[in-house]
Amino acid sequence: PETMTTRFFPAYPWDKSSLKSMPVDLQQFEKLDAYALKVNVKNSVEELVKALLKQARTDLEKVRAIWMWICHHIEYDVVGYHNKSQLSSKPIDVLQTGKSICEGYAGLFEQMCSIAGIQCMKLSGYSKGYGYKMGQTFTGDSDHAWNAVYLDGRWHLLDSTWGSGAVDDSFTKFTFRYNEFYFLTHPALFINNHFPDNSNWQLLKPTLTLKDFENNMLHNSNFYMLGLLTAHPETAVIQTVNGKASVSVDCRSATLFTFKLKGTDEHGLMTLKKHGMKLDIYPQKTGSHKLQVFAKPSKASEEVYNCVLEYVVECKSVDKAMRFPKDLHQPVGPSWFTERQGFLRPSQPDPIIHTNDGRCSVTFTLGKDISVLASLHSDNSSLTEDMRRRHIMQIHRGNQIELKIHLPHAGNFVLKIYAKKKSDPGNYDYIFNYLITCLNTEVKWPAFPQSYSKWAEDYEILEPLSGLLPANRNVQFKLKMHGIAKVLVQAENAYPLTQSRGYWEGTCNTSGCREVFVMVHENANHSFYSHVLKYEVETQ
């Protein structure tokens, strides 16, 4: 129609303003929607429209009532789809059987609008729907039908077939599942999976070519309904560069993500950002791999993640160094999510901590009443549960916590951080993890000394930090402890430490013993000592 050329076209790409092509207040439709669902007229299309329009005043309301009725009463005919010769797409037949394929949905929609006095077109073209394979080309006849309606001086797009529900993977069963997304969809989003035979009906300027349509990333309606805005790269097939491929998503509000590469999340590093996420993929085999990204709103209590993106990652070479430990959990590193759990101002904002000498540390400001537990994991370590913790030392200064880490050997490690409320008697909950990498094969740090329950949270060891002391040596001790009357270091002999400026200092000789204990008198009147630290001594 000639009106098309004179009307303004929304530009491509999408301006992120609204998912719809005109302002729509869904709450104002609630009564109308409920009414339309209850209308039950099957004898003629005219009678049905007449009944539906009883509650509709404006053209927008009329279109809405027709849309709602079709989406909830016509089911997709999976049998008819496989046997099209038996199939009638005549509006009256569609109405009376209550089932059809896209052709029938669009035809019924067009006729109902026409009866209601609203301009409506039935459009056909290619779609990225059932059976679509990423990166495929489109040839031959169109495979889908939808509609355009004329409201408020402009054309708008809708797809009642896709608004009504979905077909399962084997194309044998249809499930009604209403989808608001396909009602008056913004043209710059509609083009994502609908390519009309006549490019004018893209309602876009500039229009996209079929090649653009084929190459463009398919965003399903979940992507937009979850408040996601853009994804990079914008093409469905990604080639790795030096064994690595990267994907990122921008979104409006805090969203949780997961991913699967060939069904597992082991070969990637995903970090949450305030407005989205970043994912680096390192496939450990060459070839083509399917990558899926899932998302859910952070407010959603249920564990259901929806698939929002699919890519094919083509890997030409493998980066063996980026083989991650099995214990690594996604997402990696700190984020808005860990902030919510009370870990603020991380000294290491990145997910990977690189260390050359096998030592590193990470500091946080802790929220109120939080008790922390940390452990170190690696694939080729025979670390016991106890030793996993003993390679990490916690140092508390006011509301700051420092985790000092001494690696037992080179390699990739996972630093797992758990927390609980101090006031809770229960278990620690896993919060997040870092990846620590060290390539220096000379590295071999012993564990920190073992501490006992009387070692208070805000005590601090300045020296010796190593839990393994040299034999037959004088060893210097310097400990920060308060509220204590006396300190002894018990080797073969007992060595008292003296207090000066809040530190307890002194020397002890390690000859003739296998273990050294630090013991304290909490009170000058006590006759017994409490053990606070234990060191091992090297065998000769």
**Which residue, 385, 374, 447, 436, is CA-closest to 410?**
436
User: Which residue in the list 33, 71, 73, 102 is annotated as catalytic?
Assistant: 102
Active site residue 113: no
End-to-end CA distance of the chain: 96
Residues near 18 by beta carbon (within 8 Å), at least 6 away in sequence? 186
Report the SS3 class of residue 34: helix
Long-range contacts of 173-182 (CB under 8 A, 24+ apart): 173/78, 174/75, 174/76, 174/77, 174/78, 176/72, 176/75, 178/71, 178/72, 179/71, 179/221, 180/26, 180/225, 181/19, 181/221, 181/224, 181/225, 182/158, 182/221
Selecting among 144, 156, 219, 267, the annotated active-site residue is 144
Q: How far, rounded to the nearest angstrom, does the alpha carbon of residue 234 sit from its chain's CA centroid?
A: 18
Residue type (1 letter), 132:
Y
Classify burial at 408, counting beta carbons within 10 Å of its beta carbon; exposed 0-12, middle 13-18, buried 19 or more.
buried
Show Cβ contacts of residue 241 under 8 Å, excluding neighbours closer than 6 positions: none
SS3 of residue 96 by DSSP: helix
Catalytic entry in 33, 71, 73, 159: 159
Joined together, the tokens standing for residue 127 give: 């779609």
What is the rounded distance in angstroms from the CA atom of residue 386 to the CA atom of residue 118? 74
Q: Are 350 and 333 in contact (CB under 8 A)?
A: yes
Query: Would residue 508 show up in a list of annotated catalytic residues for this protein?
Result: no
The letter for the amino acid at 442 is E
59 in catalytic set? no
Look at the chain and count its residues: 540
Active site residues: 102, 144, 159
